[in-house]
Structure 1
Amino acid sequence: MTFEVFNQEYSDYLLVPSGLLVLVMYHVWLLWTIIRHPTRTVIGLNTMCRRRWVYHIMNDQPTNGILGVQTLRNNLMASTLLATISITLSSLISAVISTLNKPTNVSITIDHVKYFSVLICFLSAFFCNMQCVRYFAHSSFLLNVPAPEQRDEFIEYVSQTLNRGCLFWSLGLRAFYFSFPLLLWIFGPLPMFACSCLISLSLYSLDSACSTSWHLPNGHRDCKETHTHDYGLKADSMETAPSEDDNLYCSLLRITKLGSITDTSC
């Protein structure tokens, strides 16, 4: 009996940190890829598409204004739904934690750690989705505001606001993804570790936008050139669009131009 308890504790101390390390290492690699090679990720390509969408909407506001507001309204509904789900699950987890045996002195049982870690994930998802609602609602107002004299700078500000909302949307989804292995941790450390590895592989297939080179004429073009050709994302096709050499994720990092950082105050 003592050996089984020791083996269970040893598995928790070994497999659980290993599973979390797999998830953290994958997201560190994803962040590095987004910053260095944004067109190799779905997040980078979506950021470019949203920037061009804002330029398209605001260049013809009388015609496209209603379309832009309706599109943001659909995203607002999705963010509100996820926020409602996350706060509901947080309430349920809090009720479960309150029914557990209270720890004696300062010792905390492993069950409290399991449920509390899941609670942190759902609360983080709620916070990110509420910020997403905030930025989407703000973008819906800015989208139909007549552009001032400095038209390009104002349109870029609107695209930054929209992309920040989408950044919180992505973070909220990542919080839900992190909750899956933590929920399975309740059933044991082995399911938690297996789920962490499986989620990392699934996210890689979903986040990677690099196509294979079998369909290319020379077979040596990189992923950035491939997606620029396939999706028609060359910046020179629009006069007011930012250049292709700009960092596509700069608006999420509050950088208006490559190498120049704006004020980080809200």
Structure 2
Amino acid sequence: MAWDSSILDMVLVPLGLLVLAAYHAHLWFKLKSKPESTVIGVNHLNRQAWVINIMSDSGKNGIVAVQTLRNSIMASTLLASTAITLSSVIAALVSSTTSGGTDNTLRHFIYGETGNITSTLKYLCLLLCFLFAFVCHVQSIRYANHASFLLSIPVGDNAPGLTPEYVNEFIYMSQNFFTLGLRGYYLAFPLLLWIFGPIPMFVCSIVMVFLLRTLDKAKNFNLTFKILSKNEKDENGEKDVKSTGQDGTDLHQILSV
């Protein structure tokens, strides 16, 4: 029975991780080639339009921008605190169940000398998963905090180089790290079920791919971005800009930053 269990661990666990990796590689390709087909890409384009609208009158819209980013920072703070708390609980649990003191605990993690290497690997992978989520959410807070300062600065001679595209790079990075942090939480589900066996872990990986595909696929979105320009009006009094910024920059270019 132990031999069968080890074989299942060596086959089903890498296969489940491979399925998740293949899905995210496909998602990354779609995000680069056809961003409007993914929810992440549509959100990036909408945020670009939001930055342009906010910076068109930063004096009037500055408070709204700071409050919006503050909500994002609060969400990242909650998730980062939860991730580091869970990491501490897992580390304390493993330490309390390992005999021989701190030195033997460290050797157990590195070399697996207690005879249960698979069990050690399960907890270590789960710990690294939550630590990854923690680091990503901290980076998301960092970029969002800096963007909140930039959005509240009036565009003019006192702020050389301050453009919507420059500010959007920080918001783009902040949201990317936020998304990666959430993916770390999602990955924790199959790793957590791995504790109960390789078969639940593999089944959870397959189910997770279908759920993520439903969440990541954009449906029935109107992707015509109409951004009003105060300086340029067409014969109807408005200028329709499709997927472009005020300076004519293609919004799809932000996805390659």
Give the TM bin, normalised by the shorter chain.
0.7 to 0.9
Give TM-score, length-normalised by structure 1.
0.81
Distance 1:21 1:137 in 2: 35
For 2:36, the aligned partner's letter is: T
For 1:40, the aligned partner's letter is: S
Shift of 1:148: 3.4
1:173-198 CA distance string (max 9 Å, x none): 00111111000000000110010011
Q: What does 1:114-125 correspond to in 2, within 5 Å? A: 114-125=122-133
8 A Cα contact 2:144 2:174, kept in partner = yes
| SS in structure 1 at match of 2:163 | helix
| SS in structure 2 at match of 1:235 | coil
Aligned to 1:137: 145
Note if 1:160 corresponds to 2:169: yes
Aligned to 1:202: 211
Aligned to 2:69: 72
Distance 2:245 2:81 in 1: 41
1:155-190 CA distance string (max 9 Å, x none): 211011111100100000001111110000000001
8 A Cα contact 1:139 1:158, kept in partner = yes
For 1:123, the aligned partner's letter is: L
The 1:26/1:241 distance shift into structure 2, 3 A limit, reads: farther
Shift of 1:237: 8.3
Which range moves more in the overlay, 195-204 or 140-149? 140-149
Give TM-score, length-normalised by structure 2.
0.83
The 1:227/1:107 distance shift into structure 2, 3 A limit, reads: same
For 2:204, the aligned partner's letter is: C
Aligned to 2:190: 181
Q: Provide structure 2 residue ranges, at least 5 long, that are not aligned to the other structure.
A: 99-104, 228-239
Q: What does 1:1-266 correspond to in 2, within 5 Å? A: 4-101=1-98, 102=105, 103=108, 106-107=111-112, 109-148=117-156, 154-211=163-220, 227-229=222-224, 235-236=241-242, 240=246, 242-244=248-250, 246-250=252-256, 254=257
- Count of residues paired in the alignment: 233
Q: Provide structure 1 residue ranges, at least 5 long, that are not aligned to the other structure.
A: 212-225, 255-266
8 A Cα contact 2:39 2:216, kept in partner = yes
8 A Cα contact 1:38 1:247, kept in partner = no
8 A Cα contact 1:136 1:162, kept in partner = yes
